[in-house]
Structure 1
Amino acid sequence: MRVAVLGAGAMGCLYGAALHRGGADIVLVDVNAEHIAAINARGLELERRSGTERLPIPAVRPEELEGPLDLVLVFTKTFMTDTALAGIAHAIGPATHLLTLQNGLGNEARLAAHVDAARVLIGISSLPSDLVGPGRVRSHGEGGTKLYSAFPSGDPAFAEQVAALLTQGELAASADPAIYEAVWSKAIFNATMNPLCALTLRTPGFLGAHEESLAMIRAAVDEGIAAAHANGVMVDGQAIHDLTRVSITDHADHEASMLQDVKAGRRTEVDAINGAIVEAARGKGVATPLLEIFWRFVKLEEAKLAGE
Protein backbone atom coordinates (compact mmCIF):
# COMPACT_ATOMS: atom_id res chain seq x y z
CA MET A 1 0.00 0.00 0.00
CA ARG A 2 1.37 3.41 -0.98
CA VAL A 3 0.54 5.93 1.75
CA ALA A 4 1.17 9.64 2.24
CA VAL A 5 0.93 11.16 5.69
CA LEU A 6 -0.32 14.70 5.14
CA GLY A 7 0.90 16.76 8.08
CA ALA A 8 4.10 15.23 9.44
CA GLY A 9 3.95 16.67 12.93
CA ALA A 10 4.21 14.61 16.08
CA MET A 11 1.18 12.41 15.38
CA GLY A 12 1.79 12.18 11.65
CA CYS A 13 5.33 10.95 12.23
CA LEU A 14 4.20 8.45 14.87
CA TYR A 15 1.69 6.91 12.45
CA GLY A 16 4.02 7.13 9.49
CA ALA A 17 6.56 5.14 11.49
CA ALA A 18 3.98 2.48 12.35
CA LEU A 19 2.83 2.11 8.74
CA HIS A 20 6.48 1.89 7.65
CA ARG A 21 7.09 -0.91 10.17
CA GLY A 22 3.90 -2.58 8.98
CA GLY A 23 5.23 -2.81 5.43
CA ALA A 24 3.54 0.10 3.67
CA ASP A 25 5.38 2.39 1.23
CA ILE A 26 5.32 5.64 3.22
CA VAL A 27 6.09 9.26 2.41
CA LEU A 28 5.73 12.12 4.89
CA VAL A 29 4.32 15.39 3.53
CA ASP A 30 4.85 18.70 5.28
CA VAL A 31 5.75 22.35 4.67
CA ASN A 32 8.35 22.69 7.46
CA ALA A 33 11.61 22.84 5.50
CA GLU A 34 13.88 22.23 8.51
CA HIS A 35 11.84 19.22 9.62
CA ILE A 36 11.82 17.75 6.10
CA ALA A 37 15.58 18.25 5.72
CA ALA A 38 16.34 16.60 9.07
CA ILE A 39 14.22 13.54 8.25
CA ASN A 40 15.81 13.12 4.83
CA ALA A 41 19.33 13.61 6.18
CA ARG A 42 19.20 11.42 9.30
CA GLY A 43 15.96 9.46 9.13
CA LEU A 44 12.96 9.97 11.37
CA GLU A 45 14.05 9.67 15.01
CA LEU A 46 11.28 8.19 17.16
CA GLU A 47 11.71 7.78 20.91
CA ARG A 48 9.35 5.35 22.62
CA ARG A 49 9.41 3.68 26.01
CA SER A 50 10.89 0.62 24.31
CA GLY A 51 13.79 2.64 22.94
CA THR A 52 14.81 5.05 20.18
CA GLU A 53 14.88 4.18 16.49
CA ARG A 54 15.76 5.94 13.25
CA LEU A 55 13.55 5.11 10.30
CA PRO A 56 14.46 5.79 6.63
CA ILE A 57 11.17 7.41 5.62
CA PRO A 58 11.26 10.06 2.87
CA ALA A 59 9.74 13.49 3.49
CA VAL A 60 8.60 15.93 0.79
CA ARG A 61 6.76 19.17 0.28
CA PRO A 62 3.18 18.86 -1.10
CA GLU A 63 4.15 19.87 -4.63
CA GLU A 64 6.86 17.19 -4.66
CA LEU A 65 4.50 14.33 -3.82
CA GLU A 66 4.10 11.75 -6.57
CA GLY A 67 0.93 9.76 -7.12
CA PRO A 68 -1.29 7.99 -7.44
CA LEU A 69 -1.67 6.99 -3.79
CA ASP A 70 -3.67 4.22 -2.18
CA LEU A 71 -4.21 6.17 1.04
CA VAL A 72 -3.69 9.66 2.40
CA LEU A 73 -3.64 9.86 6.19
CA VAL A 74 -4.69 13.43 7.06
CA PHE A 75 -3.07 14.88 10.19
CA THR A 76 -3.14 18.60 9.44
CA LYS A 77 -4.93 21.06 11.69
CA THR A 78 -8.66 20.89 11.01
CA PHE A 79 -8.81 24.43 9.64
CA MET A 80 -6.07 23.58 7.11
CA THR A 81 -7.68 20.42 5.71
CA ASP A 82 -9.07 21.89 2.49
CA THR A 83 -5.93 23.84 1.65
CA ALA A 84 -3.67 20.87 2.40
CA LEU A 85 -5.69 18.42 0.28
CA ALA A 86 -5.87 20.90 -2.58
CA GLY A 87 -2.07 21.08 -2.45
CA ILE A 88 -1.74 17.34 -3.18
CA ALA A 89 -4.72 17.00 -5.54
CA HIS A 90 -2.33 15.96 -8.31
CA ALA A 91 -1.41 12.81 -6.34
CA ILE A 92 -4.97 11.76 -5.49
CA GLY A 93 -6.25 9.21 -7.99
CA PRO A 94 -9.65 7.61 -8.62
CA ALA A 95 -8.90 4.84 -6.09
CA THR A 96 -7.23 6.94 -3.39
CA HIS A 97 -8.77 6.68 0.08
CA LEU A 98 -8.56 9.48 2.65
CA LEU A 99 -8.36 8.74 6.38
CA THR A 100 -8.72 11.43 9.04
CA LEU A 101 -7.49 10.88 12.58
CA GLN A 102 -7.81 14.61 13.28
CA ASN A 103 -9.33 16.11 16.38
CA GLY A 104 -12.92 17.26 16.68
CA LEU A 105 -16.16 16.68 14.79
CA GLY A 106 -17.07 17.08 11.12
CA ASN A 107 -13.77 16.01 9.56
CA GLU A 108 -15.40 13.38 7.36
CA ALA A 109 -17.45 16.06 5.56
CA ARG A 110 -14.31 18.03 4.76
CA LEU A 111 -12.65 14.97 3.21
CA ALA A 112 -15.77 14.07 1.23
CA ALA A 113 -15.38 17.37 -0.63
CA HIS A 114 -12.18 15.98 -2.19
CA VAL A 115 -12.98 12.32 -2.96
CA ASP A 116 -16.11 10.20 -3.25
CA ALA A 117 -17.67 9.57 0.17
CA ALA A 118 -17.16 5.83 -0.30
CA ARG A 119 -13.39 6.42 -0.07
CA VAL A 120 -13.47 8.43 3.18
CA LEU A 121 -12.43 6.82 6.46
CA ILE A 122 -12.60 8.37 9.90
CA GLY A 123 -10.92 7.39 13.14
CA ILE A 124 -9.42 8.37 16.45
CA SER A 125 -6.11 7.95 18.23
CA SER A 126 -5.60 7.87 21.98
CA LEU A 127 -1.81 7.93 21.74
CA PRO A 128 0.39 10.80 22.96
CA SER A 129 3.16 12.19 20.76
CA ASP A 130 5.42 15.23 20.96
CA LEU A 131 7.65 16.87 18.36
CA VAL A 132 10.87 17.53 20.26
CA GLY A 133 12.90 18.95 17.37
CA PRO A 134 13.35 18.77 13.59
CA GLY A 135 13.06 15.11 12.61
CA ARG A 136 12.63 14.02 16.25
CA VAL A 137 9.44 12.70 17.85
CA ARG A 138 8.76 11.28 21.32
CA SER A 139 5.80 9.09 22.31
CA HIS A 140 5.68 7.88 25.92
CA GLY A 141 2.34 6.36 26.86
CA GLU A 142 -0.12 3.71 25.82
CA GLY A 143 -3.19 3.99 23.64
CA GLY A 144 -4.76 2.72 20.47
CA THR A 145 -6.52 3.53 17.22
CA LYS A 146 -10.04 2.95 15.94
CA LEU A 147 -11.11 3.61 12.36
CA TYR A 148 -13.86 2.75 9.91
CA SER A 149 -15.61 3.87 6.76
CA ALA A 150 -17.12 7.29 7.41
CA PHE A 151 -20.20 6.67 5.27
CA PRO A 152 -22.40 3.59 4.60
CA SER A 153 -21.14 3.39 1.00
CA GLY A 154 -17.59 2.70 2.18
CA ASP A 155 -15.74 -0.64 2.08
CA PRO A 156 -15.09 -2.00 5.61
CA ALA A 157 -12.45 -4.35 4.18
CA PHE A 158 -10.16 -1.41 3.38
CA ALA A 159 -10.50 -0.09 6.94
CA GLU A 160 -9.59 -3.55 8.23
CA GLN A 161 -6.53 -3.59 5.97
CA VAL A 162 -5.30 -0.25 7.31
CA ALA A 163 -5.93 -1.34 10.91
CA ALA A 164 -3.93 -4.52 10.28
CA LEU A 165 -0.99 -2.51 8.89
CA LEU A 166 -0.94 -0.26 11.96
CA THR A 167 -1.15 -3.23 14.33
CA GLN A 168 1.65 -5.00 12.49
CA GLY A 169 3.61 -1.77 12.85
CA GLU A 170 3.25 -1.88 16.66
CA LEU A 171 0.36 0.58 17.03
CA ALA A 172 -2.68 -1.43 18.05
CA ALA A 173 -5.64 -0.58 15.80
CA SER A 174 -9.11 -1.95 15.07
CA ALA A 175 -11.81 -1.40 12.46
CA ASP A 176 -14.80 -0.37 14.57
CA PRO A 177 -18.31 -0.02 13.06
CA ALA A 178 -19.28 2.16 16.06
CA ILE A 179 -16.71 4.71 14.98
CA TYR A 180 -18.86 7.78 15.64
CA GLU A 181 -19.17 6.82 19.29
CA ALA A 182 -15.37 6.75 19.41
CA VAL A 183 -15.07 10.08 17.57
CA TRP A 184 -17.52 11.81 19.90
CA SER A 185 -15.84 10.28 22.96
CA LYS A 186 -12.44 11.58 21.85
CA ALA A 187 -13.92 15.00 21.08
CA ILE A 188 -15.49 15.22 24.54
CA PHE A 189 -12.18 14.23 26.12
CA ASN A 190 -10.29 16.82 24.07
CA ALA A 191 -12.91 19.53 24.70
CA THR A 192 -12.34 18.99 28.41
CA MET A 193 -8.60 18.42 28.80
CA ASN A 194 -7.10 20.49 25.97
CA PRO A 195 -8.57 23.90 26.91
CA LEU A 196 -7.72 23.42 30.59
CA CYS A 197 -4.12 22.63 29.68
CA ALA A 198 -3.96 25.55 27.25
CA LEU A 199 -5.50 28.08 29.65
CA THR A 200 -3.38 27.05 32.66
CA LEU A 201 -0.24 26.48 30.54
CA ARG A 202 0.17 23.17 32.35
CA THR A 203 0.14 19.46 31.48
CA PRO A 204 -2.52 16.97 32.69
CA GLY A 205 -0.53 16.03 35.79
CA PHE A 206 -1.05 19.55 37.13
CA LEU A 207 -4.81 19.31 36.52
CA GLY A 208 -4.94 16.02 38.41
CA ALA A 209 -3.31 17.59 41.46
CA HIS A 210 -6.04 20.19 42.11
CA GLU A 211 -9.68 19.69 43.05
CA GLU A 212 -10.66 22.87 41.18
CA SER A 213 -9.61 21.36 37.86
CA LEU A 214 -10.84 17.86 38.72
CA ALA A 215 -14.32 19.24 39.40
CA MET A 216 -14.34 21.07 36.06
CA ILE A 217 -13.15 17.94 34.26
CA ARG A 218 -16.02 15.88 35.69
CA ALA A 219 -18.63 18.53 34.87
CA ALA A 220 -17.35 19.21 31.34
CA VAL A 221 -17.31 15.51 30.46
CA ASP A 222 -20.89 15.18 31.70
CA GLU A 223 -21.93 18.08 29.46
CA GLY A 224 -20.30 16.40 26.46
CA ILE A 225 -22.01 13.09 27.22
CA ALA A 226 -25.39 14.84 27.31
CA ALA A 227 -24.65 16.53 23.97
CA ALA A 228 -23.69 13.24 22.33
CA HIS A 229 -26.74 11.39 23.63
CA ALA A 230 -29.03 14.20 22.45
CA ASN A 231 -27.54 13.77 18.97
CA GLY A 232 -28.17 10.04 18.97
CA VAL A 233 -24.57 9.01 19.63
CA MET A 234 -24.65 6.75 22.68
CA VAL A 235 -21.15 7.20 24.04
CA ASP A 236 -20.00 5.31 27.12
CA GLY A 237 -19.70 8.12 29.64
CA GLN A 238 -17.74 6.16 32.22
CA ALA A 239 -15.10 5.29 29.63
CA ILE A 240 -14.54 9.01 28.95
CA HIS A 241 -14.22 9.76 32.66
CA ASP A 242 -11.74 6.87 32.89
CA LEU A 243 -9.73 8.30 29.99
CA THR A 244 -9.33 11.63 31.80
CA ARG A 245 -7.86 9.73 34.73
CA VAL A 246 -5.40 7.98 32.42
CA SER A 247 -4.46 11.40 31.05
CA ILE A 248 -3.61 12.90 34.45
CA THR A 249 -1.57 9.84 35.44
CA ASP A 250 -0.05 7.90 32.53
CA HIS A 251 0.15 10.98 30.26
CA ALA A 252 0.83 13.44 33.08
CA ASP A 253 3.67 15.25 31.29
CA HIS A 254 2.21 15.21 27.77
CA GLU A 255 1.69 18.63 26.21
CA ALA A 256 -1.74 18.65 24.59
CA SER A 257 -1.82 20.04 21.06
CA MET A 258 -3.88 23.04 22.17
CA LEU A 259 -1.28 23.85 24.84
CA GLN A 260 1.49 23.56 22.26
CA ASP A 261 -0.42 25.90 19.95
CA VAL A 262 -1.01 28.54 22.63
CA LYS A 263 2.64 28.43 23.72
CA ALA A 264 3.72 28.86 20.10
CA GLY A 265 1.22 31.67 19.45
CA ARG A 266 -0.66 29.60 16.86
CA ARG A 267 -4.36 29.21 16.12
CA THR A 268 -5.89 26.23 17.94
CA GLU A 269 -8.50 23.65 16.87
CA VAL A 270 -10.94 24.72 19.58
CA ASP A 271 -13.64 25.56 17.00
CA ALA A 272 -13.69 21.99 15.66
CA ILE A 273 -13.59 20.54 19.18
CA ASN A 274 -15.48 22.66 21.74
CA GLY A 275 -17.26 24.80 19.18
CA ALA A 276 -18.60 21.79 17.28
CA ILE A 277 -19.89 20.11 20.45
CA VAL A 278 -21.50 23.30 21.77
CA GLU A 279 -23.26 23.95 18.46
CA ALA A 280 -24.42 20.33 18.13
CA ALA A 281 -25.80 20.50 21.67
CA ARG A 282 -27.50 23.82 21.06
CA GLY A 283 -29.21 22.35 18.01
CA LYS A 284 -30.85 19.78 20.29
CA GLY A 285 -31.71 22.23 23.06
CA VAL A 286 -28.97 20.99 25.41
CA ALA A 287 -26.94 23.46 27.47
CA THR A 288 -23.15 23.03 27.70
CA PRO A 289 -22.10 26.13 29.67
CA LEU A 290 -18.68 24.94 30.83
CA LEU A 291 -17.60 23.63 27.43
CA GLU A 292 -18.75 26.93 25.92
CA ILE A 293 -16.79 28.94 28.49
CA PHE A 294 -13.68 26.90 27.62
CA TRP A 295 -14.32 27.62 23.93
CA ARG A 296 -14.77 31.36 24.42
CA PHE A 297 -11.74 31.73 26.70
CA VAL A 298 -9.45 29.91 24.26
CA LYS A 299 -10.75 32.16 21.47
CA LEU A 300 -9.85 35.16 23.62
CA GLU A 301 -6.39 33.69 24.12
CA GLU A 302 -6.04 33.33 20.36
CA ALA A 303 -7.08 36.94 19.86
CA LYS A 304 -4.59 38.09 22.47
CA LEU A 305 -1.76 36.13 20.87
CA ALA A 306 -2.71 37.53 17.46
CA GLY A 307 -2.57 41.07 18.86
CA GLU A 308 -6.21 41.74 18.02
Structure 2
Amino acid sequence: PASLPQFDFGIVSSKATQTRSAVAPVAHLFKTGAILSSQNGLGNEEVVAEIAQTCVMRGTTFMSGTRVTDTHVRYELDTATWMGPFEPTKTPFSLVEEAAALINSSGLKAVALEDARPAQWSKLIFNSSVNAVAALTGLPHSLHFAEERQFSDLGHLLHALIEEGKRVAEGLGVQLYEDPWEMNKVGAETDHPPSMLYDVRNKLETEVDFLGGAIAREALRAGIPAPLHTALYRLVKAKEVSWNFQGKERAVAK
Protein backbone atom coordinates (compact mmCIF):
# COMPACT_ATOMS: atom_id res chain seq x y z
CA PRO A 1 0.00 0.00 0.00
CA ALA A 2 2.85 2.43 0.66
CA SER A 3 3.78 2.45 -3.05
CA LEU A 4 0.25 2.96 -4.40
CA PRO A 5 -0.85 6.35 -5.81
CA GLN A 6 -3.78 8.41 -4.57
CA PHE A 7 -7.20 7.02 -5.51
CA ASP A 8 -10.21 8.90 -6.85
CA PHE A 9 -12.67 6.10 -6.08
CA GLY A 10 -12.52 2.84 -4.16
CA ILE A 11 -14.98 0.06 -3.37
CA VAL A 12 -14.88 -1.91 -0.12
CA SER A 13 -16.37 -5.38 -0.60
CA SER A 14 -14.81 -7.26 2.30
CA LYS A 15 -16.75 -9.06 5.00
CA ALA A 16 -18.19 -6.60 7.49
CA THR A 17 -16.01 -8.19 10.16
CA GLN A 18 -12.91 -7.20 8.17
CA THR A 19 -13.75 -3.59 7.26
CA ARG A 20 -11.23 -1.99 9.58
CA SER A 21 -8.34 -4.25 8.55
CA ALA A 22 -9.23 -3.83 4.85
CA VAL A 23 -9.45 -0.04 4.85
CA ALA A 24 -6.75 0.96 7.34
CA PRO A 25 -3.70 0.16 5.12
CA VAL A 26 -5.01 2.29 2.22
CA ALA A 27 -7.02 4.99 4.01
CA HIS A 28 -4.32 7.60 3.39
CA LEU A 29 -4.75 7.17 -0.38
CA PHE A 30 -8.25 8.71 -0.40
CA LYS A 31 -7.51 12.24 0.81
CA THR A 32 -9.48 13.74 -2.08
CA GLY A 33 -11.32 10.63 -3.30
CA ALA A 34 -14.44 8.72 -2.30
CA ILE A 35 -15.13 5.24 -0.97
CA LEU A 36 -18.19 3.07 -1.61
CA SER A 37 -19.05 0.38 0.92
CA SER A 38 -20.90 -2.39 -0.91
CA GLN A 39 -20.91 -4.67 2.12
CA ASN A 40 -23.57 -6.52 4.05
CA GLY A 41 -25.45 -5.05 6.97
CA LEU A 42 -25.29 -1.87 9.03
CA GLY A 43 -22.25 -0.12 10.47
CA ASN A 44 -19.67 -0.45 7.71
CA GLU A 45 -19.90 3.13 6.48
CA GLU A 46 -19.25 4.42 9.99
CA VAL A 47 -16.03 2.40 10.21
CA VAL A 48 -14.86 3.50 6.74
CA ALA A 49 -15.59 7.16 7.53
CA GLU A 50 -13.77 6.96 10.84
CA ILE A 51 -10.61 5.55 9.27
CA ALA A 52 -10.46 7.27 5.88
CA GLN A 53 -12.04 10.63 6.76
CA THR A 54 -13.23 11.24 3.21
CA CYS A 55 -16.49 11.12 1.23
CA VAL A 56 -18.24 7.79 1.85
CA MET A 57 -21.15 6.19 -0.01
CA ARG A 58 -23.71 3.63 1.11
CA GLY A 59 -23.84 0.68 -1.25
CA THR A 60 -26.11 -2.35 -1.50
CA THR A 61 -25.31 -5.11 -3.95
CA PHE A 62 -26.68 -8.55 -4.74
CA MET A 63 -23.89 -9.54 -7.11
CA SER A 64 -22.41 -12.75 -5.81
CA GLY A 65 -20.45 -15.80 -6.80
CA THR A 66 -20.02 -19.39 -5.75
CA ARG A 67 -16.50 -20.76 -5.44
CA VAL A 68 -16.08 -23.87 -7.57
CA THR A 69 -12.27 -24.17 -7.33
CA ASP A 70 -9.41 -21.83 -6.40
CA THR A 71 -9.43 -20.52 -9.98
CA HIS A 72 -13.13 -20.81 -10.83
CA VAL A 73 -15.93 -18.68 -9.35
CA ARG A 74 -19.43 -18.97 -10.80
CA TYR A 75 -20.89 -15.45 -11.16
CA GLU A 76 -24.49 -15.14 -9.97
CA LEU A 77 -27.17 -12.46 -9.68
CA ASP A 78 -26.14 -9.91 -12.28
CA THR A 79 -28.09 -7.05 -10.72
CA ALA A 80 -27.47 -3.36 -10.06
CA THR A 81 -25.64 -2.00 -7.03
CA TRP A 82 -27.76 0.63 -5.27
CA MET A 83 -25.67 3.51 -3.97
CA GLY A 84 -26.15 6.86 -2.30
CA PRO A 85 -24.47 9.41 -0.01
CA PHE A 86 -23.45 8.50 3.53
CA GLU A 87 -25.03 11.47 5.25
CA PRO A 88 -22.47 12.11 8.05
CA THR A 89 -19.66 12.70 5.51
CA LYS A 90 -21.81 15.13 3.49
CA THR A 91 -21.03 13.27 0.27
CA PRO A 92 -22.46 15.25 -2.69
CA PHE A 93 -25.07 13.37 -4.71
CA SER A 94 -23.30 14.53 -7.87
CA LEU A 95 -20.30 12.49 -6.74
CA VAL A 96 -22.51 9.42 -6.29
CA GLU A 97 -23.90 9.92 -9.80
CA GLU A 98 -20.39 10.20 -11.21
CA ALA A 99 -19.30 6.99 -9.46
CA ALA A 100 -22.42 5.12 -10.62
CA ALA A 101 -21.76 6.22 -14.21
CA LEU A 102 -18.20 4.96 -13.90
CA ILE A 103 -19.40 1.56 -12.66
CA ASN A 104 -21.98 1.33 -15.47
CA SER A 105 -19.34 2.18 -18.07
CA SER A 106 -17.30 -0.81 -16.90
CA GLY A 107 -20.06 -3.25 -17.82
CA LEU A 108 -21.40 -3.66 -14.29
CA LYS A 109 -24.66 -2.11 -13.12
CA ALA A 110 -25.28 0.68 -10.62
CA VAL A 111 -28.14 2.99 -9.66
CA ALA A 112 -27.55 6.31 -7.87
CA LEU A 113 -30.09 7.10 -5.13
CA GLU A 114 -30.38 10.35 -3.22
CA ASP A 115 -31.28 8.32 -0.11
CA ALA A 116 -29.82 4.81 -0.08
CA ARG A 117 -31.16 3.80 3.33
CA PRO A 118 -34.43 2.31 1.96
CA ALA A 119 -32.39 0.09 -0.38
CA GLN A 120 -29.93 -0.80 2.37
CA TRP A 121 -32.70 -1.80 4.76
CA SER A 122 -34.50 -3.82 2.08
CA LYS A 123 -31.46 -6.02 1.66
CA LEU A 124 -30.66 -5.98 5.39
CA ILE A 125 -34.02 -7.51 6.26
CA PHE A 126 -33.82 -10.07 3.45
CA ASN A 127 -30.17 -10.90 4.14
CA SER A 128 -30.39 -11.18 7.91
CA SER A 129 -33.40 -13.50 7.69
CA VAL A 130 -32.02 -15.81 5.00
CA ASN A 131 -28.47 -15.95 6.34
CA ALA A 132 -29.39 -16.78 9.93
CA VAL A 133 -31.83 -19.51 8.91
CA ALA A 134 -29.31 -21.00 6.47
CA ALA A 135 -26.57 -20.94 9.11
CA LEU A 136 -28.74 -22.70 11.69
CA THR A 137 -30.37 -25.28 9.38
CA GLY A 138 -27.48 -26.04 7.03
CA LEU A 139 -29.74 -25.42 4.02
CA PRO A 140 -28.73 -23.26 1.05
CA HIS A 141 -31.21 -20.61 -0.07
CA SER A 142 -33.65 -23.04 -1.61
CA LEU A 143 -37.38 -23.37 -2.23
CA HIS A 144 -37.82 -24.40 1.42
CA PHE A 145 -37.32 -20.73 2.36
CA ALA A 146 -40.47 -19.64 0.51
CA GLU A 147 -42.70 -22.68 1.04
CA GLU A 148 -45.77 -22.06 3.24
CA ARG A 149 -48.24 -24.81 2.29
CA GLN A 150 -47.72 -27.05 5.32
CA PHE A 151 -47.69 -26.02 8.98
CA SER A 152 -44.10 -27.27 9.28
CA ASP A 153 -42.80 -25.36 6.23
CA LEU A 154 -39.77 -23.15 6.75
CA GLY A 155 -41.25 -20.30 4.72
CA HIS A 156 -43.52 -19.40 7.65
CA LEU A 157 -40.47 -18.54 9.75
CA LEU A 158 -38.85 -16.56 6.92
CA HIS A 159 -42.06 -14.62 6.35
CA ALA A 160 -42.37 -13.81 10.06
CA LEU A 161 -38.73 -12.69 10.25
CA ILE A 162 -39.16 -10.44 7.24
CA GLU A 163 -42.41 -8.93 8.54
CA GLU A 164 -40.71 -8.26 11.88
CA GLY A 165 -37.81 -6.56 10.11
CA LYS A 166 -40.24 -4.43 8.10
CA ARG A 167 -41.92 -3.28 11.32
CA VAL A 168 -38.53 -2.22 12.69
CA ALA A 169 -37.74 -0.28 9.52
CA GLU A 170 -41.14 1.40 9.60
CA GLY A 171 -40.64 2.33 13.24
CA LEU A 172 -37.34 3.96 12.31
CA GLY A 173 -38.97 5.95 9.52
CA VAL A 174 -37.42 3.94 6.68
CA GLN A 175 -39.70 3.21 3.72
CA LEU A 176 -38.30 0.15 1.96
CA TYR A 177 -37.06 0.35 -1.63
CA GLU A 178 -38.15 -3.21 -2.47
CA ASP A 179 -40.09 -5.96 -0.69
CA PRO A 180 -37.69 -8.37 1.10
CA TRP A 181 -40.24 -11.21 0.85
CA GLU A 182 -40.27 -10.91 -2.94
CA MET A 183 -36.45 -10.92 -2.86
CA ASN A 184 -36.63 -14.13 -0.83
CA LYS A 185 -38.98 -15.83 -3.28
CA VAL A 186 -36.69 -15.03 -6.20
CA GLY A 187 -33.53 -16.06 -4.34
CA ALA A 188 -35.13 -19.29 -3.15
CA GLU A 189 -35.00 -20.57 -6.73
CA THR A 190 -31.19 -20.39 -6.87
CA ASP A 191 -30.01 -22.90 -4.22
CA HIS A 192 -27.29 -20.32 -3.47
CA PRO A 193 -25.30 -21.01 -0.26
CA PRO A 194 -25.40 -17.72 1.72
CA SER A 195 -22.14 -16.38 3.12
CA MET A 196 -23.12 -17.15 6.70
CA LEU A 197 -23.73 -20.79 5.80
CA TYR A 198 -20.23 -20.90 4.32
CA ASP A 199 -18.83 -19.36 7.50
CA VAL A 200 -20.59 -21.84 9.77
CA ARG A 201 -19.53 -24.79 7.64
CA ASN A 202 -15.92 -23.63 7.93
CA LYS A 203 -16.16 -22.40 11.55
CA LEU A 204 -15.40 -18.79 10.61
CA GLU A 205 -16.64 -15.64 12.32
CA THR A 206 -19.98 -14.66 10.77
CA GLU A 207 -21.42 -11.24 9.93
CA VAL A 208 -24.40 -11.76 12.25
CA ASP A 209 -23.53 -8.71 14.38
CA PHE A 210 -24.01 -6.54 11.29
CA LEU A 211 -27.14 -8.36 10.07
CA GLY A 212 -29.69 -9.79 12.51
CA GLY A 213 -27.75 -8.32 15.41
CA ALA A 214 -28.05 -4.86 13.87
CA ILE A 215 -31.82 -5.22 13.47
CA ALA A 216 -32.15 -6.46 17.06
CA ARG A 217 -30.09 -3.57 18.44
CA GLU A 218 -31.91 -0.93 16.37
CA ALA A 219 -35.23 -2.38 17.51
CA LEU A 220 -34.15 -2.31 21.16
CA ARG A 221 -32.93 1.27 20.84
CA ALA A 222 -36.25 2.35 19.35
CA GLY A 223 -38.41 0.28 21.71
CA ILE A 224 -39.74 -1.95 18.92
CA PRO A 225 -40.25 -5.67 19.68
CA ALA A 226 -38.05 -7.94 17.54
CA PRO A 227 -38.05 -11.32 19.33
CA LEU A 228 -37.37 -13.45 16.24
CA HIS A 229 -34.32 -11.56 15.01
CA THR A 230 -33.03 -11.34 18.58
CA ALA A 231 -33.45 -15.09 19.09
CA LEU A 232 -31.72 -16.05 15.83
CA TYR A 233 -28.93 -13.56 16.50
CA ARG A 234 -28.24 -15.17 19.88
CA LEU A 235 -28.41 -18.67 18.42
CA VAL A 236 -25.84 -17.86 15.73
CA LYS A 237 -23.57 -16.25 18.34
CA ALA A 238 -23.90 -19.40 20.46
CA LYS A 239 -23.04 -21.47 17.39
CA GLU A 240 -19.79 -19.50 17.07
CA VAL A 241 -19.01 -20.11 20.75
CA SER A 242 -19.57 -23.85 20.33
CA TRP A 243 -16.61 -24.21 17.96
CA ASN A 244 -14.13 -23.55 20.76
CA PHE A 245 -16.11 -24.87 23.70
CA GLN A 246 -14.05 -27.28 25.76
CA GLY A 247 -16.20 -27.81 28.83
CA LYS A 248 -16.10 -31.09 30.69
CA GLU A 249 -18.88 -33.53 29.97
CA ARG A 250 -20.79 -34.40 33.12
CA ALA A 251 -23.12 -37.28 33.76
CA VAL A 252 -26.74 -36.31 34.23
CA ALA A 253 -27.73 -36.64 37.87
CA LYS A 254 -30.31 -39.33 38.49
Q: Which whole-Å CA distance do the structure 1 matches of 2:61 and 2:207 have between them?
A: 16
Q: Per the alignment, in what secondary structure is the counterpart of residue 232 of structure 2?
A: helix
Q: Give the match for residue 98 of structure 1.
A: 35
Shift of 1:209: 6.7
Q: 2:19 aligns with which of 78, 81, 84?
A: 81
TM, length-normalised to structure 1 = 0.73
Distance 1:209 1:246, change over 3 A: closer
1:283 counterpart residue number: 221
**In the alignment, what sits opposite 1:68?**
6
SS at match of 1:139: strand
Contact 1:67 1:93 (8 Å CA) reproduced: no
**1:1-308 to 2 correspondence within 5 Å?**
63=1, 66-90=4-28, 92-116=29-53, 119-151=55-87, 153-208=90-145, 210-211=147-148, 212-235=153-176, 239-249=179-189, 252-307=190-245
CA contact (8 A) 2:146 2:184 kept: no
User: How far apart in 1 are the matches of 2:238 and 2:20?
Assistant: 25
Distance 1:169 1:294 in 2: 39
1:96 Cα deviation after fit: 2.3
SS of equivalent to 2:188: helix
Structure 1 residue 161, shift from structure 2 partner:
2.0
Paired AA for residue 76 in structure 2: H
Structure 1 unaligned spans of 5+: 1-62
Aligned residues: 241
For residues 86 and 141 of structure 2, the distance between their equivalents in structure 1, rounded to whole angstroms, comes to: 31
Unpaired runs of at least 5, structure 2: 247-254
TM-score with structure 2 setting the length? 0.88
Q: Is the 8 A contact 1:195 1:298 kept in 2?
A: yes
* Aligned partners of 2:140 and 2:192 also within 8 Å: yes
Aligned partner of residue 148 in structure 1, secondary structure: strand
Q: 1:72 to 1:141 in 2, by over 3 A?
A: closer
- Cα offset, 1:139, TM superposition: 1.3
Is contact 1:65–1:88 with CA below 8 Å preserved after alignment? no
The separation in 2 between residues aligned to 1:83 and 1:209, in whole angstroms, is 37
Q: Secondary structure at the match of 1:268?
A: coil
The answer as to whether partners of 1:191 and 1:270 remain within 8 angstroms in 2 is yes
| Aligned counterparts of 1:253 and 1:170: Cα–Cα separation in 2 | 26
Report deviation, 1:87. Answer: 2.1
Divergent runs of 4+, >3 A: 208-211
What's the secondary structure of 2:52's corresponding residue? coil
Displacement after TM superposition at 1:65 (Å): 6.0
- Shift of the 175–235 alpha-carbon distance from structure 1 to 2, 3 Å rule, reads same
Instruction: Give deviations 1:21-59, integer Å, cap 9, x for gaps.
Output: xxxxxxxxxxxxxxxxxxxxxxxxxxxxxxxxxxxxxxx
Measured after TM superposition, the shift of residue 103 of structure 1 is 0.5
Question: Offset at 1:116?
Answer: 3.1
CA RMSD of aligned residues (A): 1.9
